[in-house]
Protein backbone atom coordinates (compact mmCIF):
# COMPACT_ATOMS: atom_id res chain seq x y z
CA UNK A 1 0.00 0.00 0.00
CA UNK A 2 1.45 3.33 -1.06
CA UNK A 3 1.14 6.81 0.35
CA UNK A 4 -0.61 8.00 -2.83
CA UNK A 5 -2.97 5.11 -3.58
CA UNK A 6 -5.93 6.29 -5.63
CA UNK A 7 -4.44 9.70 -6.40
CA UNK A 8 -3.99 11.21 -9.84
CA UNK A 9 -0.93 13.43 -10.14
CA UNK A 10 0.22 15.76 -12.89
CA UNK A 11 3.98 16.18 -13.00
CA UNK A 12 5.30 18.76 -15.44
CA UNK A 13 8.86 18.67 -16.68
CA UNK A 14 8.65 14.88 -16.48
CA UNK A 15 11.02 14.15 -19.35
CA UNK A 16 14.22 13.98 -17.29
CA UNK A 17 15.97 14.88 -14.04
CA UNK A 18 13.83 15.51 -10.98
CA UNK A 19 10.62 15.22 -13.01
CA UNK A 20 11.41 11.74 -14.28
CA UNK A 21 12.53 10.48 -10.87
CA UNK A 22 9.45 12.02 -9.27
CA UNK A 23 7.09 10.48 -11.81
CA UNK A 24 8.50 7.03 -11.14
CA UNK A 25 8.34 7.45 -7.35
CA UNK A 26 4.76 8.75 -7.42
CA UNK A 27 3.75 5.70 -9.44
CA UNK A 28 5.46 3.39 -6.95
CA UNK A 29 3.46 5.09 -4.20
CA UNK A 30 0.23 4.18 -6.00
CA UNK A 31 -0.53 7.34 -7.96
CA UNK A 32 -1.66 7.39 -11.55
CA UNK A 33 0.70 9.84 -13.20
CA UNK A 34 0.22 12.38 -15.97
CA UNK A 35 3.76 12.89 -17.26
CA UNK A 36 3.93 16.21 -19.10
CA UNK A 37 6.78 17.79 -21.05
CA UNK A 38 7.65 19.31 -24.41
CA UNK A 39 10.02 16.54 -25.51
CA UNK A 40 8.05 13.76 -27.22
CA UNK A 41 10.66 11.01 -27.01
CA UNK A 42 11.80 11.67 -23.45
CA UNK A 43 8.39 12.09 -21.83
CA UNK A 44 7.12 8.97 -23.56
CA UNK A 45 10.15 7.15 -22.16
CA UNK A 46 9.20 8.26 -18.65
CA UNK A 47 5.65 6.96 -19.01
CA UNK A 48 6.90 3.72 -20.54
CA UNK A 49 9.32 3.17 -17.64
CA UNK A 50 6.39 3.41 -15.24
CA UNK A 51 4.32 1.01 -17.31
CA UNK A 52 7.03 -1.65 -17.46
CA UNK A 53 6.98 -2.01 -13.67
CA UNK A 54 3.20 -2.16 -13.39
CA UNK A 55 2.41 1.50 -12.79
CA UNK A 56 -0.16 3.59 -14.64
CA UNK A 57 0.93 6.69 -16.52
CA UNK A 58 0.25 8.67 -19.65
CA UNK A 59 2.58 10.98 -21.55
CA UNK A 60 1.30 14.40 -22.60
CA UNK A 61 3.42 16.43 -24.99
CA UNK A 62 2.59 20.07 -24.39
CA UNK A 63 4.08 23.41 -23.40
CA UNK A 64 2.87 24.05 -19.86
CA UNK A 65 3.67 27.77 -20.19
CA UNK A 66 0.88 28.29 -22.71
CA UNK A 67 -2.85 28.36 -22.14
CA UNK A 68 -3.52 25.68 -24.72
CA UNK A 69 -0.73 23.46 -23.41
CA UNK A 70 -1.77 23.69 -19.77
CA UNK A 71 -5.40 23.00 -20.65
CA UNK A 72 -4.32 20.02 -22.73
CA UNK A 73 -2.33 18.55 -19.84
CA UNK A 74 -5.21 18.79 -17.37
CA UNK A 75 -7.84 17.59 -19.82
CA UNK A 76 -5.71 14.59 -20.77
CA UNK A 77 -5.38 13.63 -17.12
CA UNK A 78 -9.11 13.89 -16.49
CA UNK A 79 -9.90 11.93 -19.65
CA UNK A 80 -7.47 9.14 -18.74
CA UNK A 81 -8.04 8.91 -14.99
CA UNK A 82 -11.24 10.80 -14.18
CA UNK A 83 -9.88 13.47 -11.85
CA UNK A 84 -6.85 15.48 -10.71
CA UNK A 85 -5.70 15.35 -7.08
CA UNK A 86 -2.14 16.64 -7.25
CA UNK A 87 -0.18 19.08 -9.37
CA UNK A 88 3.61 19.18 -9.27
CA UNK A 89 4.80 22.33 -11.04
CA UNK A 90 8.29 21.18 -11.95
CA UNK A 91 8.63 22.45 -15.54
CA UNK A 92 11.18 25.11 -16.25
CA UNK A 93 14.43 25.92 -17.99
CA UNK A 94 17.23 27.49 -16.00
CA UNK A 95 17.92 30.14 -18.59
CA UNK A 96 21.31 31.68 -19.34
CA UNK A 97 24.16 32.67 -17.04
CA UNK A 98 24.93 36.27 -17.97
CA UNK A 99 25.65 39.68 -16.40
CA UNK A 100 22.52 41.81 -16.18
CA UNK A 101 23.71 44.21 -18.88
CA UNK A 102 23.93 41.27 -21.31
CA UNK A 103 20.71 39.59 -20.17
CA UNK A 104 18.48 40.16 -23.17
CA UNK A 105 14.73 40.69 -23.24
CA UNK A 106 14.21 37.28 -24.83
CA UNK A 107 16.36 35.65 -22.12
CA UNK A 108 14.20 37.24 -19.43
CA UNK A 109 10.80 36.36 -20.84
CA UNK A 110 11.85 32.85 -21.85
CA UNK A 111 13.03 32.06 -18.32
CA UNK A 112 10.06 33.68 -16.58
CA UNK A 113 7.58 31.92 -18.84
CA UNK A 114 9.33 28.57 -18.60
CA UNK A 115 9.52 28.52 -14.79
CA UNK A 116 6.77 30.80 -13.48
CA UNK A 117 4.11 31.19 -16.15
CA UNK A 118 3.99 27.41 -16.57
CA UNK A 119 3.17 27.00 -12.87
CA UNK A 120 0.45 29.64 -13.05
CA UNK A 121 -1.10 28.18 -16.20
CA UNK A 122 -1.24 24.60 -14.94
CA UNK A 123 -2.59 25.71 -11.58
CA UNK A 124 -5.29 27.75 -13.28
CA UNK A 125 -6.67 24.70 -15.07
CA UNK A 126 -6.02 22.10 -12.37
CA UNK A 127 -7.73 23.93 -9.50
CA UNK A 128 -11.32 23.51 -10.81
CA UNK A 129 -10.74 19.76 -11.02
CA UNK A 130 -9.41 19.68 -7.46
CA UNK A 131 -12.43 21.61 -6.26
CA UNK A 132 -14.64 18.98 -7.90
CA UNK A 133 -12.66 16.24 -6.17
CA UNK A 134 -13.06 17.95 -2.80
CA UNK A 135 -9.34 18.09 -2.10
CA UNK A 136 -6.02 18.72 -3.74
CA UNK A 137 -2.34 19.39 -3.31
CA UNK A 138 -0.11 21.68 -5.33
CA UNK A 139 3.67 21.55 -5.01
CA UNK A 140 5.79 24.17 -6.73
CA UNK A 141 9.39 23.15 -7.34
CA UNK A 142 11.21 26.42 -6.68
CA UNK A 143 14.90 26.87 -5.82
CA UNK A 144 17.15 28.39 -3.19
CA UNK A 145 18.10 30.78 -5.99
CA UNK A 146 14.72 32.39 -5.37
CA UNK A 147 15.45 32.73 -1.65
CA UNK A 148 19.07 33.87 -1.45
CA UNK A 149 19.95 34.72 -5.04
CA UNK A 150 22.70 33.61 -7.39
CA UNK A 151 24.83 36.03 -9.38
CA UNK A 152 24.38 36.17 -13.16
CA UNK A 153 21.07 34.26 -12.98
CA UNK A 154 18.57 37.09 -12.51
CA UNK A 155 15.78 35.61 -14.62
CA UNK A 156 15.92 32.28 -12.85
CA UNK A 157 16.11 33.94 -9.41
CA UNK A 158 13.12 36.14 -10.21
CA UNK A 159 11.05 33.25 -11.55
CA UNK A 160 11.77 31.01 -8.58
CA UNK A 161 11.07 33.81 -6.10
CA UNK A 162 7.81 34.34 -7.95
CA UNK A 163 6.88 30.71 -7.44
CA UNK A 164 7.34 31.14 -3.69
CA UNK A 165 5.13 34.23 -3.62
CA UNK A 166 2.52 32.45 -5.71
CA UNK A 167 2.62 29.56 -3.23
CA UNK A 168 1.82 31.84 -0.30
CA UNK A 169 -1.03 33.56 -2.10
CA UNK A 170 -2.58 30.34 -3.39
CA UNK A 171 -2.35 28.63 -0.01
CA UNK A 172 -4.54 31.34 1.49
CA UNK A 173 -6.92 31.44 -1.47
CA UNK A 174 -7.46 27.70 -1.86
CA UNK A 175 -7.63 26.64 1.79
CA UNK A 176 -11.47 26.81 1.83
CA UNK A 177 -11.48 24.10 -0.86
CA UNK A 178 -9.24 21.72 1.11
CA UNK A 179 -6.35 22.34 -1.29
CA UNK A 180 -2.85 22.61 0.15
CA UNK A 181 -0.14 24.58 -1.64
CA UNK A 182 3.55 24.32 -0.80
CA UNK A 183 6.91 24.93 -2.42
CA UNK A 184 10.16 23.02 -2.34
CA UNK A 185 13.38 25.01 -2.71
CA UNK A 186 16.19 22.62 -3.62
CA UNK A 187 19.82 23.62 -3.44
CA UNK A 188 22.27 22.29 -6.01
CA UNK A 189 20.75 19.05 -7.31
CA UNK A 190 23.16 16.55 -8.85
CA UNK A 191 22.57 16.28 -12.59
CA UNK A 192 23.01 17.84 -16.01
CA UNK A 193 21.40 21.17 -15.10
CA UNK A 194 23.70 22.00 -12.21
CA UNK A 195 26.67 20.91 -14.33
CA UNK A 196 25.69 23.54 -16.89
CA UNK A 197 25.17 26.18 -14.20
CA UNK A 198 28.55 25.45 -12.64
CA UNK A 199 30.27 25.56 -16.02
CA UNK A 200 28.64 28.91 -16.77
CA UNK A 201 29.56 30.35 -13.39
CA UNK A 202 33.15 29.16 -13.78
CA UNK A 203 33.47 30.69 -17.23
CA UNK A 204 32.07 34.07 -16.28
CA UNK A 205 34.33 34.22 -13.20
CA UNK A 206 37.39 32.95 -15.03
CA UNK A 207 38.05 30.00 -12.71
CA UNK A 208 38.29 26.22 -13.28
CA UNK A 209 35.05 24.25 -13.28
CA UNK A 210 36.37 21.97 -10.52
CA UNK A 211 36.97 24.98 -8.28
CA UNK A 212 33.45 26.28 -8.91
CA UNK A 213 31.98 22.87 -8.12
CA UNK A 214 33.87 22.78 -4.82
CA UNK A 215 32.46 26.22 -3.96
CA UNK A 216 28.90 24.97 -4.50
CA UNK A 217 29.52 21.94 -2.30
CA UNK A 218 31.47 23.69 0.43
CA UNK A 219 28.67 26.13 1.13
CA UNK A 220 26.61 23.18 2.43
CA UNK A 221 27.30 21.91 5.98
CA UNK A 222 26.83 18.30 4.83
CA UNK A 223 29.38 18.87 2.05
CA UNK A 224 27.36 17.25 -0.69
CA UNK A 225 24.86 18.00 -3.40
CA UNK A 226 21.19 17.18 -3.14
CA UNK A 227 19.97 14.13 -5.05
CA UNK A 228 16.76 14.12 -7.15
CA UNK A 229 15.41 11.45 -4.79
CA UNK A 230 15.67 13.89 -1.86
CA UNK A 231 13.35 16.37 -3.56
CA UNK A 232 11.06 13.56 -4.68
CA UNK A 233 10.65 12.16 -1.16
CA UNK A 234 9.49 15.53 0.13
CA UNK A 235 7.07 15.97 -2.79
CA UNK A 236 5.50 12.58 -2.02
CA UNK A 237 5.04 13.61 1.60
CA UNK A 238 3.47 16.96 0.66
CA UNK A 239 1.07 15.24 -1.74
CA UNK A 240 0.01 12.67 0.84
CA UNK A 241 -2.46 12.79 3.72
CA UNK A 242 0.50 12.96 6.10
CA UNK A 243 0.81 16.64 5.12
CA UNK A 244 -2.89 17.50 5.16
CA UNK A 245 -2.32 20.35 7.63
CA UNK A 246 0.84 21.65 6.00
CA UNK A 247 0.21 24.50 3.59
CA UNK A 248 1.73 27.84 2.65
CA UNK A 249 5.27 26.66 3.27
CA UNK A 250 8.51 26.81 1.31
CA UNK A 251 10.80 24.02 2.43
CA UNK A 252 14.48 24.13 1.51
CA UNK A 253 16.33 20.90 0.65
CA UNK A 254 19.93 22.09 0.70
CA UNK A 255 22.21 19.57 2.44
CA UNK A 256 22.12 21.83 5.49
CA UNK A 257 22.56 25.30 4.03
CA UNK A 258 20.35 27.77 5.89
CA UNK A 259 18.45 30.14 3.61
CA UNK A 260 16.21 33.07 4.47
User: Which strand ranges, in their side-by-side order, compose the sheet holding 8-12?
Assistant: 57-61, 32-37, 8-12, 86-89, 136-141, 179-186, 250-253
| Tens digit of pLDDT at every position of the chain (260 positions) | 799 999 999 999 999 999 999 999 999 999 999 999 999 999 999 999 999 999 999 999 999 999 999 999 999 999 999 999 999 999 999 899 999 999 999 999 999 999 999 999 999 999 999 999 999 999 999 999 999 989 999 999 999 999 999 999 999 999 999 999 999 999 999 999 999 999 999 999 999 999 999 999 999 999 999 999 999 999 999 999 999 999 999 999 999 998 87
Return d(Cα 174, Cα 234) in angstroms, integer: 21
Report field, pTM of the whole predicted structure over 0.85: yes
What pLDDT is attached to residue 1? 76
Q: What pLDDT, on a 0 to 100 scale, did the predictor assign at position 157? A: 97
- What whole-number distance in Å separates Cα of residue 53 and Cα of residue 55? 6
What are the structural domain ranges in the chain? 8-188+227-253, 190-225
Active site residue 156: yes
pLDDT of residue 259: 86
- Highest CATH level, class, for 8-188+227-253: alpha beta
Q: Please tell me the predicted confidence (pLDDT) of residue 38.
A: 95
**Catalytic entry in 103, 120, 156, 177:** 156
Give the pLDDT confidence score for residue 184 in this predicted structure. 98
Amino acid sequence: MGLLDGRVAIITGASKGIGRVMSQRFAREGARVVCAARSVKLVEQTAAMIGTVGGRAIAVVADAATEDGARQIVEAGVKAFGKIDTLINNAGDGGPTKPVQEYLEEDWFYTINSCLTSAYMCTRFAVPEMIKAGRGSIVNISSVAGRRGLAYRIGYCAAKAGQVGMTYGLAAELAPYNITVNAIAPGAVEGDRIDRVIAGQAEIRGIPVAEMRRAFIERTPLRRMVQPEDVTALAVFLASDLARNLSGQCIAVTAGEVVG
